[in-house]
Structure 1
Amino acid sequence: MACGSCSNPNQLASDTLSRHHARVKLGILSDSHGRHERTHKAVQLLLANGANELAHCGDIETERVIDQFAGIQTHLVFGNCDPDWRALSRYALGLGVLVQHPLARFVCGGRTFAMTHGHDSDCVAAALHEGVNYLLHGHTHICRDEHHGATRIINPGALHRASEFTVALLDTDTDELQFWVVA
């Protein structure tokens, strides 16, 4: 069974790759569950520590969470707790937030990324099959940093329903990953 947007899972345009070789510090968030104030703190923490691009792995739930990404280069997917994802998608696109759902593919700093919420095993399998450099996901509310073949799998943790609220910061030039606690 194929993931909803995975009709051609091996397609990452080479012209897209060539345009995105600048150094990027990617701030990674997930599972805001409508907590816009905590999401704001998380975004500010990531920006203060050098993030120049963001990725949110889903379970957003409200427009007020999406508002936190206005004016910031942000990639977004939705999760299993985003039942009205079509309306949220229209809202995000109106703010200039990049939405691909249920499986995002993008390039940062010359590295290939796939991002999904994590609740759809077909999307996870499709992303791993592509052989991207990084697979980002949320859903479990647990930080994760491990490899599956050549793909590094990262879960930043969660901004709600977790023992600690966490985000991650990835330097695409050095491959350094840091997890940050959002107070």
Structure 2
Amino acid sequence: MPKIGLLSDSHGRAATTRRGVDVLLKQGAEVLIHLGDVGTVEVIDALCVEKPNSEDQIESHLVFGNTDWDIDSLAEYADDLDVAVDHPVGRLQLGDGKDLVFCHGHESKPMQQALADGAKYLCHGHTHAQADDRQGSTRVINPGALFRASVYSVAVLDTATDQLVFFEVEAV
């Protein structure tokens, strides 16, 4: 099971997003998930990085948020770069029947459905605040934000050990 790099709420801040991605890669993230409010194609560009010591692109996913207005154009751009658009809800199978569900978090229905389904992890953005809570059997995680937050942050979830670590990202 991979280490998942989580980031959210870039709101078009591509340089800060790139710094966040760099932090995630240095911490061993094998998959990147942007949890919405992408804002611009330049933020999508920041998700297109090679695996360390490889020419292969790291697996990247995104969902859109409530401030992503031109979803069709952003989705087409992401698709051209092999960034998976899982909007409005994404799901990664972790094995043993466990899964990680992700959405932006501005709509309650996808969140409630993930909880009702008993997802192992539910990752979301939207609030611009770090969170690591448990609701029933589901661990609910928000990595924080890369814009409009007192501290910009990302997070790495090690799905093999269930360890979650938040990392501060310096704004550009």
Same fold, TM exceeding 0.5?
A: yes
* Counterpart check, 1:93 vs 2:79: yes
Q: Which residue is equivalent to 2:26?
A: 48
Using structure 1 for the length normalisation, give the TM-score: 0.85
Equivalent residues of 1:109, 1:173 under 8 A apart: no
1:79 to 34, 41, 65: 65
* Counterpart check, 1:65 vs 2:63: no
The structure richer in strand per residue is 2
TM-superposed deviation, 1:72: 2.0
Identity over the aligned pairs, expressed in percent? 49
TM-superposed deviation, 1:105: 1.3
| Alignment partners' CA distance in 1, 2:44 and 2:60 | 10
**Is the partner of 1:114 in helix, strand or coil?**
strand
Aligned Cα root-mean-square deviation (Å): 1.1
Provide closer, same or farther for how the CA distance between residues 109 and 37 of structure 1 changes in structure 2, counting only shifts above 3 A: farther
**Is the partner of 1:179 in helix, strand or coil?**
strand
Any gaps of 5 or more consecutive residues in structure 1?
Answer: 1-22
**Is the partner of 1:34 in helix, strand or coil?**
coil
Q: Which residue is equivalent to 2:101?
A: 114
Aligned-partner residue type, residue 88 of structure 1:
L
**Is the partner of 2:144 in helix, strand or coil?**
coil
* Counterpart check, 1:136 vs 2:114: no
| Alignment partners' CA distance in 2, 1:150 and 1:182 | 30
* Counterpart check, 1:182 vs 2:160: no
Write out per-residue CA displacement over residues 129-168 of structure 1, whole angstroms, 9 at most, x where no aligned residue: 1111100000000000011111100000000000000001
Any gaps of 5 or more consecutive residues in structure 2?
Answer: 49-56
After superposition, residues 133-172 of structure 1 pair within 5 angstroms as 133-172=120-159
